[in-house]
DNA sequence: CTAACTATTTAGGCATACCTAATTAAGTCC
DNA sequence: GGACTTAATTAGGTATGCCTAAATAGTTAG
């Protein structure tokens, strides 16, 4: 009985690999099925199923031990970074070249990232002047797959008031993103941070912007680095 | 027994509608299952199956009588033109903005046309200055779905030698397209046409281009109009 | 140490969009 | 007008990627 050869160059497989990459964090820790199911909006059983395929393909995309979570193999990591590169180049392109509002780039890039060719990738990269960061401040993986380490930390970690520089902003919540943008909270902006309470922050991005009160959940979406 | 509600906003359905539109011609004649199967590269049985779905959906996309062929309904025509608009705007965009070689725009556009949003469509249209023609000389349908009639005729129809202007070139065969391009056979170019024989043509696009000998099949890909 | 809880996997289904093989309808040829 | 031929349809099957429900493993609590 030969195992049937399955095609894993699919949008769906891409999304699983992206999710494992995102949830594994910089340490590439093992990720649980439930966490993946949550993030992908599918049933846990569907996750198990896909992980088994990804793990047993001729070139495995994940290392997977039953009930012990998954992490990416070298091939899986390569693929995840390629898609991430597509995503971030597309976001930059939509923002810079097509004048998209910042809060709309994510969804469009999320769809298109699976379908653009290498030529398309190369052409927009060239057109944009080989950018290193997308409009949310996230680093764009190089073609080689190399990606620089993050030295920033989440705003939600800040205990003491102070001045910081906005490093990056999550693109997951477009409503929040729009609000942050309207208050001048954009990558590179200088930020006065007041920790009102355990649950509440106040941000000020300078004279021309109104201060913004932000709950802890929102503060998790903003990453900052020291002022100088 | 209620008929199951099926979702027909799929890439596959799009492709069937496009094919019916293309094969139906300007007169929107009925198209046979076999012709569709050929063009789409699927088995005739698959065509029958999809046509039945397209015909019986709450808003039908085709008029279909068993064994008598199909044509588009108003809704189907609208959809086909929308996709065609996407396709041709994308081709123009890839060519003008991203500097694609002419023979590569088709395949990329063919993939992306199904996934771009209305915003994307609007932004590239604006960026390009609301173009009326794509780089192959094909007219881009307006947002309203209106499309001007073709007054050109295929080069293969020409019996007598003469001077003509290139109207448009089919984007179906990229190898041919590249060759035509290399010999200066591009939309708007002035063309000396010699009919060597029933099967062979010779084209000359002016001093700086070498003459090109073309078989009847290749001549079918070029549409021309009178010189002045 | 066993009961209970929770995470995960297995088993069995469904929809989409294909396929092949078998059947039926329609058109043509004496 | 019956026999052929060809086009088109029906019937039944496959792979993908999802689902729910049931079973199982691992973990925690008394």
CB contacts of A87 in chain B (<8 Å) are none
Determine contact, residues B55/B117, Cβ cutoff 8 Å: no
The closest nt to A33, taking CA to C1', is C8
Is B158 a member of any domain?
yes
Domain that holds residue B40: 11-72
Nearest-CA residue of chain A relative to B104?
A119
**Which pLDDT does position B97 carry in this prediction?**
98
> Which domain-ending residue is among B50, B72, B94?
B72
Which residue has 């290193």 as its token pair? A132
Nearest-CA residue of chain B relative to A109?
B116
How many domains are there within chain A? 2
Q: Could you give the C-alpha distances from B112 to A114, B91, B117, in angstroms and in order? A: 10, 10, 10
Buried b (16+ CB within 10 A) or exposed e, A87-120: bbbbbbbbbbbbebebbbbbebbbbbbbbbeeeb
Among A228, A118, A222, CA closest to A172: A222
> Is A108's Cβ below 8 Å from some Cβ in B?
yes
Q: Could you give the C-alpha distances from A177 to A96, A183, A207, in angstroms and in order? A: 17, 10, 20
Q: Which residue has the higher pLDDT, A78 or A146?
A: A78
Nearest-CA residue of chain A relative to B94?
A120
> Is A99's Cβ below 8 Å from some Cβ in B?
yes
Contact flag, residue B74 CB and nucleic strand C, below 7 A: no
Q: What is the mean pLDDT of residues B6-30?
A: 96
**Which pLDDT does position B1 carry in this prediction?**
46
CATH value at residue A182:
2.30.30.90
> Is B127's Cβ below 8 Å from some Cβ in A?
yes
> Which domain-ending residue is among B19, B45, B72?
B72
The verdict on a CB contact (< 8 Å) between A120 and B98 is: yes
Whether residue B212 is predicted with pLDDT greater than 50 in this model: the reply is yes
Is B89 a member of any domain?
no
Nucleic acid strand D: bases within 7 A of protein CB = 7-12, 15-22, 25-26
> pLDDT confidence of A1, banded at 50, 70, 90?
very low
Among A216, A186, A224, A185, CA closest to A203: A185
Residues 129-168 of B with CB under 7 A from strand D: none
Tell which of A87, A105, A123, A174 to mutate to test the B interface (max B CBs under 10 Å).
A123
CATH value at residue B46:
1.10.10.10
Q: How far is the CA of B89 from the C1' of C14 (A)?
A: 38
> Which domain-ending residue is among A72, A90, A105?
A72
Q: What is the mean pLDDT of residues A171-179?
A: 97
Q: What is the mean pLDDT of residues A78-100?
A: 98
pLDDT in tens, A202-228: 999 987 999 999 999 999 999 999 987
> pLDDT confidence of B227, banded at 50, 70, 90?
confident
């Amino acid at each position: 009985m030969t195992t049937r050869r399955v095609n894993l160059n699919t949008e769906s497989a891409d999304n699983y690999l992206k999710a494992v990459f995102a949830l594994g964090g910089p340490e590439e820790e093992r990720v649980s099925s439930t966490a993946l199911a949550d993030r992908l909006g599918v049933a846990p059983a569907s996750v198990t199923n896909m992980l088994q395929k990804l793990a047993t393909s001729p070139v495995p995309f994940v290392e997977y031990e039953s009930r012990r979570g998954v992490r990416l193999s070298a091939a899986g990591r390569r693929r995840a970074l390629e898609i991430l590169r597509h995503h971030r180049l597309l976001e930059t392109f939509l923002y810079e070249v097509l004048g998209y509002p910042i809060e709309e780039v994510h969804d469009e890039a999320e769809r298109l990232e699976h379908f653009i060719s290498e030529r398309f990738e190369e052409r927009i990269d060239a057109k944009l002047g080989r950018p290193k960061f997308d409009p949310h401040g996230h680093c764009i993986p190089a073609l080689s797959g190399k990606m620089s380490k993050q030295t920033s930390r989440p705003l939600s970690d800040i205990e003491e008031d102070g001045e910081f520089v906005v490093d990056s902003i999550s693109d997951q919540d477009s409503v929040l993103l729009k609000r942050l943008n309207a208050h001048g909270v954009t990558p590179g902006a200088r930020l006065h941070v007041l920790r009102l309470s355990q649950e509440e922050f106040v941000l000020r991005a300078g004279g021309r912007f109104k201060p913004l009160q932000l709950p802890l959940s929102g503060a998790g979406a903003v990453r900052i680095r020291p002022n100088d």
